[in-house]
Amino acid sequence: MNEKMAAQAANKDGFIAALDQSGGSTPKALRLYGIEEGSWSNEAEMFDLIHQMRARIIKSPAFTGDKVMGAILFEQTMDRDIDGTPTAQYLWEKRGVVPFLKIDKGLAPAADGVQLMKPMPDLDALLKRAVAKGIFGTKERSVVDAANPKGIAAIVAQQFEVGAQVLSHGLVPIIEPEVTISIADKAEAENILLAEILKQLDKVPAGQQVMLKLTLPTKANLYKPLVDHPKVMRVVALSGGYSRDEANKKLMENDGVIASFSRALTEGLSAKQSDAEFNAMLASAIDSIFEASRAR
C-alpha cells in the first residue's frame, strides 16, 4: 500500500469525487452535462464522451488534492489515459488525488427489500490490474429499499465478503450499502444497517481497515460509532439524489463524515460552457463541498 496515499485517505481534509458512472448511468450523466442522447451512435462513442467530461473535470485547476482527497474511477476510466498518462497515475502524480476504482458490476434483482451486487467472477483479475495501475482502493455499491432485517443483513454480509477479497490484494475497500432517500422507513433501515455493519466490523482482521460510503442519515450523527471505529479508515457520504445545497447542509450535521458526491459535484457543469465558465462553476462546487466536509 502507498503510505502517502493511506495518510491522505485517512486524515486529510477534503472529499472524494465520485467520477464512476457506469454504462447504465452514463446517458443520464451526459444529459445533465448538456450532451443529449443521439450525440453518439454506439457505446464506444458514449464512453469517449464521458471520458472527455471526466478528463475536463480532473484537469480543471481547482481539482487538486488540496480539497479533493480522492476520486472514484469507472473501470474504463482507469484503463484510459489523460494527456498520455494513465488516469490513476495522472490523478496522483499530477493532481495529488488518491485514485479509487468502482468494482461492482451493477445490482441484482430486488429481494427482501434490497438489491445485492451481481456476481463478480473476474474480481481477482480486476483487482490485480488495479494494483498494477496504482489504484489505492475500491468501491462497491448495493441498495437498501426497505427496513427489512433479513435483506439488510444479507447486503452487509455480501459487502464485507467482497471487502475481504479487496483487502487480500492490499487495497482498501469502500463499502457502499446505499439507503434510498425516498423510502418511508429510511430511519429504521439506517438503524438496522448500523447494527449489521458493527457486527461485520468485528470480523475484520486486526490491523486492517475499510472505508464506508453511506447515505446521509435521517438522524444526525447516527454513524458516529463508525467514524470512531478503529477498523474504519473513513466514513464518506453519498449525495443520493439530494441537491448540492441540501447534501452539504445534511453533511455538516454529521461530525467526521466527508462527502463522496457524484451528481452534487457536477451539478451545473455543461459541455457548452467555456473553460473559464466551467472551471469557475467547478471551483465553486468544490469549495462548497470541501467546506461541508471539513473535519469538525
Task: Identify the active-site residue in 67, 102, 176, 190.
Answer: 176
Question: Nine-digit cell at 228?
Answer: 470512531
CB distance 119 to 155 below 8 Å: no
Task: Identify the active-site residue in 12, 67, 186, 213.
Answer: 213
How far from chain centre, in Å, is Cα 161?
Answer: 19
Residue 238 DSSP label: E
Among residues 237, 251, 278, 284, which one has the least CA distance to residue 18?
A: 237
Question: Nine-digit cell at 198?
Answer: 458493527
Residue 111 DSSP label: B
45 in active site: no
The three-class DSSP label of residue 201 is helix
213 in active site: yes
Residue corresponding to grid cell 457505446? 43
Beta bridge partners of 286: none
Nearby residues of 24 by Cβ (< 8 Å), 6 or more positions away: 106
Q: At what angle do helices 149-167 and 186-201 cross, to 10 degrees?
A: 40
Query: Any idea which residues carry the catalytic annotation?
Result: 176, 213
